[in-house]
Amino acid sequence: MVFTTQEKKPIFQEESCRSSSFLPLKIISTGVSVPENKIYSAQLDQQLNKKTGYTEKRSGIQYRYHSDNQASQAQLGIKALNHALARNKIEPESIDLLISACAIPVQVLPYNAAHLLQLSCLPKGTASLDVNVSCVSFIAALHLAACLLNYGGYKRIAIVSADLPSRGLDWQDEESSIIFGDGAACAIVEKGGGQSGVLSYLSETYTEGIDLCEVRAGGTRCNPRSGMSDGDFLFRMNGKPLFKLASSLIEPYLERLLKASGLALSDIATVVPHQASHLSLEHMRKRLGVTSEALIDIYRFRGNQVSASIPTALHEAVVTGRFQPEKPVMLIGTAAGLAFAGMVLLP
Amino acid sequence: MVFTTQEKKPIFQEESCRSSSFLPLKIISTGVSVPENKIYSAQLDQQLNKKTGYTEKRSGIQYRYHSDNQASQAQLGIKALNHALARNKIEPESIDLLISACAIPVQVLPYNAAHLLQLSCLPKGTASLDVNVSCVSFIAALHLAACLLNYGGYKRIAIVSADLPSRGLDWQDEESSIIFGDGAACAIVEKGGGQSGVLSYLSETYTEGIDLCEVRAGGTRCNPRSGMSDGDFLFRMNGKPLFKLASSLIEPYLERLLKASGLALSDIATVVPHQASHLSLEHMRKRLGVTSEALIDIYRFRGNQVSASIPTALHEAVVTGRFQPEKPVMLIGTAAGLAFAGMVLLP
């Protein structure tokens, strides 16, 4: 991998470099939520009949959160929205669009943002829509929000990602059952004054990996009329080929994303990756050359929170002072599809 | 209702009127598809033990299309995409973003556009995402596409809506079971030369109507772990209160949509409504004052095709010469949520 550290130079020396496709965007607040039940890996050792320490070592996770089976996904999302509103004293009435950026919905009809809106304190009639690109939905939603704030007539947009993977875990499949945690996160965004914004955004999907990571039920494919089994509601992952495909594609993908931003990896102060797995975060460090200082890694205390991972990691960057003006940040992830999404932005 | 016919005046006399929020957008092709099985209302009379003529009279539908229970939703969507590509000899390689604008997905993970992409002739790695606002998903997707073409780096976007409501019909519920038909439609859009585009777009959701029209299963709410029954997979509609709520809100909504466009209803050459029901189309004519000449009404031969209704009606407008430069067109619909979306555009 050849992201060599370049000579230190002022970022955006040439104004022209930014003007061509720079999209003003300001993240004005973030918030997060998790369910009450903290599940330590030591508990899973017992549940799975393993020696103490096995699950933590295999998963790289000390604890993750699992909601009980009746808890509301939308309610968890609204807790994150309310957290983001409260942290910067933002009036609910000032939000003019609510975007749901979840991977799996509350139910198949109506769309997810309506369920979020129903439980929120946002005004009746607020515009709302769902954006979905599996685990990287938040990055896609952030890019759409930037376009909508600049040219779509909206002033302040709330993006909420909430997922409850615990509800679809297959406890017979050790590899996938120990790595997921429930959670939600929110970002509230405006156009801002033009100093902050999107330097590059890149979305690519390689469907040769479509069945390596999936939940088959819930739509027209597996239902009572077409035929289904309880197993169709469980998360299925074929970890090795999935990791092999993702890691064969991510290096040139990252080069394209950086090239479009006009920056080198060494210019990126903070990398906010999807918290897909222990292995994927190690890959970011060892193969892609992201330094431990730059990498936001909350995996040990959250696990893979599906669509909520990236905005939860973004919130972590914000509250730990690693999301600062003029210090470029990269959001990046791979997702069921197999989808890649990434964004380089100036906070 | 007070959309009085105004004196005939040149539309957009003042250039300034258009410049503030006009979003260039050109629909360069459209396409449609339906499954093979044409279901006449006379067949349903027999199936439901009714006198000949009952179903047609009650539903206002002569025939609709139902796929068999194993048919693929994504394949139906791809037939519509291929139709749109072929009609104007568009190279698949020229499409740089595929948007799925369906109400109900193929399965809950991965996102729907990946399933469409997999069966398409678009290049490996093509960007893709889902947009969902139930039955008005296509209008929301068209607005997002306009923003993305102007400012998001894309040159040519394909939007596909495909739904198979037949798979969730409750044959014990006469009201909803006789009105739905399966289908798919596609629009391919570019930025264009600036003569055509979006004059106004308005999205509003009123969640007091969220449970009047729903399919409860398929997500985190009803599944084997939280508890579910086969009935949760069926479409539930509470027709009377739904119609009452929608019709109490649509008149002021339509006024806001038109006001934002700078036009009066009499300036709109063609209205492309969601084909929700016989009653909703009658309401457009009788209460809102849309003339029969302006209204695209394909309900009699399609029924309610969920998200595919609006782009199928748009295709009908295109092929019957009612989508012409400088003749304003309005897309409008209400959807499960209860969501309203509308757009006034210049073809």
- DSSP per residue over B228-283, as a string? --GGGGS-EE-HHHHHHHHHHHHHHHHHHHHHHHT--GGG-SEEEE----HHHHHH
Q: Are residues A186 and A225 in the same domain?
A: no
Judge whether B3 lies within some domain.
no
Interface of A with B in 166-185 (CB under 8 A): 167-168
What is the per-residue pLDDT across A61-79, written as a single tens digit (0 to 9) for each? 999 999 999 999 999 999 9
Q: Are residues A86 and A137 in the same domain?
A: yes
The dihedral region occupied by A92, where left means phi > 0, alpha psi between -120 and 50, and beta the remainder, is: alpha
CB A98 within 8 A of CB B177: no
pLDDT score recorded for residue A151: 86
- Predicted confidence (pLDDT) at residue A8 exceeds the cutoff of 80: no
Alpha carbons A113 and A101: distance in angstroms, whole number: 8
Q: How many angstroms separate the first and last alpha carbons of chain B?
A: 27
CB-based contact (8 Å) between B208 and chain A? yes
Task: Let me know if B125 is exposed, middle or buried by CB neighbors in 10 A (0-12, 13-18, 19+).
Answer: middle
Task: Flag the least confident range among A102-106, A111-115, A309-313, B151-155.
Answer: B151-155
- In terms of Cα–Cα distance, which of A209, A187, A195 is closest to A90? A187
- Predicted confidence (pLDDT) at residue A14 exceeds the cutoff of 90: no
Would strands A197-205 and A339-346 be described as parallel, antiparallel, or unpaired?
Answer: antiparallel
Interface of A with B in 216-235 (CB under 8 A): 216-227, 230, 233, 235
Interior angle at CA B190, CA B185 and CA B194, nearest 5? 130
Q: Which domain holds residue A116?
A: 24-190
pLDDT score recorded for residue A19: 44
- Give chain A positions within 8 Å (CB) of B107: 214-219, 221-222
Backbone angles phi, psi at A201, to 5 degrees: -140, 135
Q: Which of B142, B161, B190 is the last residue of a domain?
A: B190
Q: Are residues A239 and A97 in the same domain?
A: no
The residues near A193 (Cβ < 8 Å, ≥ 6 apart) are A24, A26
- CA-nearest residue to A163 within chain B is B220
What is the per-residue pLDDT across B240-267, written as a single tens digit (0 to 9) for each? 999 999 989 999 999 999 999 999 999 9
Banded model confidence at residue A321, pLDDT cuts 50, 70, 90: very high
Interface of B with A in 315-344 (CB under 8 A): 335-337, 339
What is the per-residue pLDDT across A331-343, written as a single tens digit (0 to 9) for each? 999 999 999 999 9
What is the arithmetic mean of pLDDT over B214-218?
A: 95
Measured in angstroms, the CA of B149 and the nearest CA of chain A are apart by: 10
What is the arithmetic mean of pLDDT over B166-183?
A: 94
pLDDT score recorded for residue A20: 56
Query: Which of the two residues, A328 and A151, has the higher pLDDT score?
Result: A328
Judge whether B262 lies within some domain.
yes
Judge whether B13 lies within some domain.
no
Q: Are residues A204 and A186 in the same domain?
A: no
Q: Are residues B333 and B254 in the same domain?
A: yes
Q: Are residues A38 and A177 in the same domain?
A: yes
Q: Determine what percent of chain A is predicted with pLDDT higher than 90.
A: 90
- Report the sign of the C-alpha dihedral through residues B212, B218, B221, B222, in that order: positive
Judge whether A9 lies within some domain.
no
- Give chain B positions within 8 Å (CB) of A113: 133, 205
- Give chain B positions within 8 Å (CB) of A23: 151-152
Measured in angstroms, the CA of A75 and the nearest CA of chain B are apart by: 12
Judge whether B157 lies within some domain.
yes
- Give chain A positions within 8 Å (CB) of B143: 152
Please tell me the total count of domains within chain B. Answer: 2
Of B113, B205, B336, the CB nearest to A128: B205
Residue in this structure with the two tokens 């965004």, named with its chain if needed: A189
Task: Let me know if B309 is exposed, middle or buried by CB neighbors in 10 A (0-12, 13-18, 19+).
Answer: buried
Q: Are residues A100 and A140 in the same domain?
A: yes
CATH number at residue A168: 3.40.47.10
Measured in angstroms, the CA of B183 and the nearest CA of chain A are apart by: 13
Judge whether A10 lies within some domain.
no
- Predicted confidence (pLDDT) at residue B224 exceeds the cutoff of 50: yes
- Give chain B positions within 8 Å (CB) of A155: none
- CA-nearest residue to A119 within chain B is B207
Paired tokens of B41? 């209302």
Measured in angstroms, the CA of B194 and the nearest CA of chain A are apart by: 15
Q: Which of B144, B168, B190 is the last residue of a domain?
A: B190
- Predicted confidence (pLDDT) at residue B288 exceeds the cutoff of 70: yes
What is the per-residue pLDDT across A211-227, written as a single tens digit (0 to 9) for each? 999 999 999 999 999 99
CB contact under 8 A, A221 and B106: yes
- CA-nearest residue to A152 within chain B is B147
- Predicted confidence (pLDDT) at residue B4 exceeds the cutoff of 70: no
Q: Are residues B127 and B215 in the same domain?
A: no
Of A70, A205, A222, the CB nearest to B125: A205
Best of A23, A68, A109 to substitute, by most chain B Cβ atoms within 10 angstroms, is A109
Banded model confidence at residue B20, pLDDT cuts 50, 70, 90: low
Best of A72, A111, A343 to substitute, by most chain B Cβ atoms within 10 angstroms, is A111
Query: Which of the two residues, A89 and A13, has the higher pLDDT score?
Result: A89
- Give chain A positions within 8 Å (CB) of B339: 110-111, 114, 128
Of A150, A164, A219, the CB nearest to B218: A219
Banded model confidence at residue A2, pLDDT cuts 50, 70, 90: very low
Measured in angstroms, the CA of A320 and the nearest CA of chain B are apart by: 30
Helical spans, DSSP H, in B136-200: 137-151, 174-177
Q: Which of B169, B190, B211 is the last residue of a domain?
A: B190
Of B70, B134, B143, the CB nearest to A109: B134
- Helices H / strands E in chain B, number of each: 10, 14
CB-based contact (8 Å) between B125 and chain A? yes
The residues near B174 (Cβ < 8 Å, ≥ 6 apart) are B48, B58
Of B104, B207, B339, the CB nearest to A220: B104
Judge whether B17 lies within some domain.
no
CB-based contact (8 Å) between A23 and chain B? yes
A259 CB neighbour count, 10 Å cutoff: 12
- CA-nearest residue to A100 within chain B is B132
What is the per-residue pLDDT across B61-111, written as a single tens digit (0 to 9) for each? 999 999 999 999 999 999 999 999 999 999 999 999 999 999 999 999 999
CB contact under 8 A, A153 and B105: no
Q: Are residues B163 and B177 in the same domain?
A: yes
Alpha carbons B67 and B74: distance in angstroms, whole number: 12
pLDDT score recorded for residue A269: 98
What is the arithmetic mean of pLDDT over B313-322?
A: 98
Interior angle at CA A264, CA A263 and CA A265, nearest 5? 120
Judge whether A7 lies within some domain.
no
CB-based contact (8 Å) between A147 and chain B? yes
Work out how many CB contacts closer than 8 A connect A with B: 262
Q: Determine what percent of chain B is predicted with pLDDT higher than 90.
A: 90
Residue in this structure with the two tokens 């985190």, named with its chain if needed: B220
Q: Are residues A55 and A102 in the same domain?
A: yes
CB contact under 8 A, A220 and B103: no
Q: Are residues B230 and B261 in the same domain?
A: yes
CB contact under 8 A, A147 and B147: yes
Interface of B with A in 28-87 (CB under 8 A): 69-70, 72-73
The residues near B275 (Cβ < 8 Å, ≥ 6 apart) are B281, B297, B298, B299, B302, B303, B304, B305, B309, B310, B312, B313
- Predicted confidence (pLDDT) at residue B122 exceeds the cutoff of 70: yes
pLDDT score recorded for residue A207: 97
Interior angle at CA A199, CA A266 and CA A17, nearest 5? 90
Q: Are residues A19 and A41 in the same domain?
A: no
